């Protein structure tokens, strides 16, 4: 496995995370136009699951960095003839791709890619990890509060099937935030501290809502969208009880009127669309890292 791969937040120490956030912040201003010196870097985007944000913000980041970005259409590839994931990725390496971004429904799919030598950037593995989503979430919080230490984060919804929940728990706890979880009992997860959502809201700095992952079998018998919003979603009443300084996050796509009242998606405390913009910055930072470039030296992120 290439050591510049990014597979899971478990693989990143605090220093690595701070370096990525620092580079992302610098891509926002000082290094806005910075490009990879090797303009021939070919990056393959290999998505076995649907994606709007991750797929096209990786592509935007690749193009902004001067890479050549190629979408590998799974439906038109030999995957349809039974080719294994390993053989597909090894083929991309053999025919000249320099890095590959992969989203796949299988947890830890990357374990079968040990013998791939080009960097692999995990764009989401089943209910496992979503490291670049986590990094963009961290960047969004850092840009809001100027620190991650001591933040009170409540993550609510489909914890059980969410790779965003596990990646954020891993990273936020490392960085000194307090992370707790709320939602239906059916979707609780071992090792994830549960709180009553209504009780947790007034003290939360960040209220992060999660999408119900129907594609992974999430369903609550007999519960309508309206009932879900009332019991577990971010309703206007709950929003009104948030601190003035608190923010709302959601990895999106959003099920409007289910996880969050549709009028709140772009409400003043919502950072849902800024999260997506931050996604391009962190993906530029992880691509730069994947190609072996050292972190920028200027300090923007002060987390220790
Ligand atoms: N947040 C996220 O991963 O969105 P996409 O599935 O659209 O990439």
Give pLDDT tens digits for 168-205.
999 999 999 999 999 999 899 999 999 999 999 999 99
Residue 253 near ligand 1, beta carbon < 6 Å:
yes
Cα 206 to the center of its chain, rounded Å: 16
State the chain's mean pLDDT as an integer: 94
The answer to whether residue 38 scores a pLDDT higher than 80 is: no
**76 shares a domain with 43:** yes
At 80 the pLDDT is 87
Distance CA 266, CA 196 (A): 25
Q: What is the pLDDT of residues 84-128, one digit of tens each?
A: 999 999 999 999 999 999 999 999 999 999 999 999 999 999 989
**265 shares a domain with 137:** yes
Identify whether the C-beta of residue 17 lies closer than 8 Å to the C-beta of residue 174.
yes
Number of domains within the chain: 2
The answer to whether residue 42 scores a pLDDT higher than 90 is: yes
Residue 275 near ligand 1, beta carbon < 6 Å:
no
pTM more than 0.85: yes
Ligand 1 centroid from CA 118, angstroms:
24
**113 shares a domain with 167:** no
Distance CA 149, CA 219 (A): 35
pLDDT band of residue 216 (cuts 50, 70, 90) is: low
Residue 54 near ligand 1, beta carbon < 6 Å:
yes
Ligand 1 centroid from CA 253, angstroms:
6
pLDDT band of residue 31 (cuts 50, 70, 90) is: very high
* Mean pLDDT of all residues in 39-62: 95
Ligand 1 centroid from CA 204, angstroms:
24
Distance CA 275, CA 264 (A): 15
**193 shares a domain with 63:** no
**232 shares a domain with 150:** yes
At 168 the pLDDT is 96
User: Cα dist. 39→34, 65, 102, 291 in Å?
Assistant: 12, 8, 22, 12
**147 shares a domain with 86:** no
pLDDT band of residue 51 (cuts 50, 70, 90) is: very high
For ligand 1, atom 6, name the residue with the nearest CA.
51
At 122 the pLDDT is 98
Q: Which domain holds residue 120?
A: 9-130+276-290
At 221 the pLDDT is 65
Distance CA 273, CA 250 (A): 9
The answer to whether residue 218 scores a pLDDT higher than 80 is: no
**195 shares a domain with 114:** no
- What is the CATH number for 217? 3.40.50.1370
Ligand 1 centroid from CA 107, angstroms:
16
Q: What is the pLDDT of residues 223-263, one digit of tens each?
A: 888 999 999 999 999 999 999 999 999 999 999 999 999 99
The answer to whether residue 29 scores a pLDDT higher than 80 is: yes
């Amino acid at each position: 496995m290439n050591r510049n791969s990014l597979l899971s937040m478990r693989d990143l120490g605090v220093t690595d995370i701070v370096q990525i956030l620092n580079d992302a912040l610098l891509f926002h201003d000082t290094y806005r136009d910075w490009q990879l010196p090797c303009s021939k870097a070919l990056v393959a985007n290999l998505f076995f699951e649907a994606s709007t944000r991750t797929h096209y913000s990786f592509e935007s980041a690749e193009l902004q960095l001067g890479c050549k970005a190629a979408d590998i259409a799974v439906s038109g590839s030999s995957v349809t003839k039974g080719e294994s994931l390993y053989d597909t990725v090894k083929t991309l390496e053999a025919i000249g791709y320099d890095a590959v971004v992969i989203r796949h429904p299988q947890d830890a799919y990357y374990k079968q890619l040990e013998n791939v030598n080009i960097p692999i950037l995990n764009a989401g593995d089943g209910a496992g990890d979503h490291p670049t989503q986590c990094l963009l979430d961290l960047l969004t919080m850092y840009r809001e509060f100027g620190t991650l230490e001591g933040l009170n984060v409540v993550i609510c919804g489909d914890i059980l099937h969410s790779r965003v929940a596990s990646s954020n728990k891993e990273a936020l706890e490392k960085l000194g935030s307090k992370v707790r979880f709320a939602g239906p009992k059916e979707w609780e997860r071992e090792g994830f501290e549960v709180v009553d959502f209504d009780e947790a809201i007034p003290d939360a700095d960040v209220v992060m809502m999660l999408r119900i992952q129907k594609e992974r079998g999430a369903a609550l018998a007999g519960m309508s969208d309206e009932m879900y919003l009332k019991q577990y979603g971010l309703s206007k009443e709950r929003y009104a009880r948030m601190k003035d300084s608190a923010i709302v996050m959601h990895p999106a796509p959003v099920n409007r009127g289910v996880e969050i009242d549709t009028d709140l998606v772009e409400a003043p405390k919502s950072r849902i669309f800024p999260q997506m913009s931050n996604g391009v910055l962190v993906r530029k930072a992880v691509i730069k890292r994947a190609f072996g470039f050292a972190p920028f030296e200027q300090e923007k992120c002060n987390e220790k």
